[in-house]
Amino acid sequence: MTLEALVVSRDPDTLRVLRSALGKLDVTVEVCTGVAAAGEILAAKKFDAVIIDCDDMNGGIELLQQVRKERSNKTSVTFAVLNGVTDVRTVFQMGAGFVLQKPITVNHALRSFHAAYGLMHRERRRYFRLPVDIPVTLTFGRSQEMKVTACNLSEGGMAIQAVAALPSEVVRVQFALPGTDVTLSPKAELAWSDAAGRGGIRFIELTSNAREQLENWLLQKMEQREPGLHPSVRA
């Protein structure tokens, strides 16, 4: 599974070091040298990590704050690159998960990226949505039921398609994981719906055993689609 990082900086030395360090972890790097353009990218695309040169780019601090407000990347792993201007505590309060202090070396960057590597993979697994075609039973109201089809499935919920308008008071869903004898029945709620019978279901309560089974099944499918979940590190 290839991780993706957005690096927002116009400092050639910083870009060279970060590209080298991330390359050793097989992380794909997209570079943006403007804060306004980076904001547009973050609003449109999901990244596993966002690295922002906060002190040497006008608007870098504001962009760090914006990341936590954007739906697509508010849970992405964030790095603030500092140059002695902004206090470390300040960027942590603004949502940075890690701090890199200039001048950055490849070894310094690698230590930070190694520390964040598991978090990036966890975020990718949480965000991963697997296309499926699974029959699902919705329970709503006073034990009323509706048959629908799941179009994609993630750790946190599913997209569904129904032949009629969806009920607003969904309380539970039931479905089987394809290729297994596992049936899950999480408590759930309707997150959104439209007039065409499409909707999004959010899981709000799963037993620990059921969550583990779902996560393991999705991880197996993710590995099949995106090989290389644990890439080797090249020194």
Same domain, 184 and 99: no
Examine residue 43 and state whether it is found in any structural domain, yes or no: yes
Query: Is the pLDDT assigned to residue 154 strictly greater than 50?
Result: yes
> Quick check: 231 pLDDT over 80?
no
- Domain final position from 97, 127, 157: 127
pLDDT at 135: 96
Q: Are residues 173 and 148 in the same domain?
A: yes
In one-letter notation, the amino acid at residue 47 is F
Domain of 189, CATH number, reads 2.40.10.220
Domain CATH number, residue 57: 3.40.50.2300
pLDDT tens, position by position, 67-98: 988 777 888 999 999 999 999 999 999 889 99
Residues 36 and 120 placed together within one structural domain of the fold = yes
For the segment 129-139, the average pLDDT, to the nearest whole number, is 93
Residues 121 and 79 in one domain: yes
Q: Which of 78, 96, 127 is the C-terminal boundary of a domain?
A: 127
| Amino acid letter for position 124 | R
198 and 210 part of one domain = yes
Q: How many CB atoms lie within 10 A of CB 57?
A: 20
Mean predicted confidence (pLDDT) in 112-124: 86
189 occurs within a structural domain: yes
Question: What is the structure's pLDDT at 225?
Answer: 67
For residue 230, what pLDDT is reported?
42
In a domain, 230, yes or no: no
Give the whole-number percent of the chain exceeding pLDDT 90.
63
| Closest to 87 measured CA to CA, from 69, 99, 71, 70 | 99
109 and 88 co-located in one domain: yes
The pLDDT mean for the chain works out to 89
Q: Give the pLDDT band (50/70/90) at residue 175.
A: very high
Decide: 166 and 160 in contact? Cβ < 8 Å: yes
Q: Which residue, 100, 127, 154, sits at the end of a domain?
A: 127
| Interatomic CA distance for residues 171 and 111, integer angstroms | 45
Regarding whether 85 and 155 lie in a shared domain, the answer is no
In a domain, 235, yes or no: no
**Cut 0.85: pTM above it:** no
- How many folded domains does the chain comprise? 2
For residue 34, pLDDT over 60 is answered with yes
Cα angle 229-204-72, degrees, rounded to a multiple of 5: 50
Supply the range of the domain harboring residue 209: 130-225
The residue-averaged pLDDT of 136-163 equals 92
Same domain? For 148 and 215 the reply is: yes
- Above 80 in pLDDT, residue 232? no
Q: Does residue 156 sit in the same domain as residue 103? A: no
Q: Is the pLDDT of residue 234 over 60?
A: no
Indicate if 97 and 157 belong to the same structural domain: no
Average pLDDT score over residue span 33-51: 92
Q: Are residues 86 and 73 in the same domain?
A: yes
13-32 pLDDT per residue, tens: 999 999 999 999 999 999 99
143 and 96 belong to one structural domain: no
| Per-residue pLDDT band at 224 (split at 50, 70, 90) | confident
Q: Which is more confident, 1 or 154?
A: 154
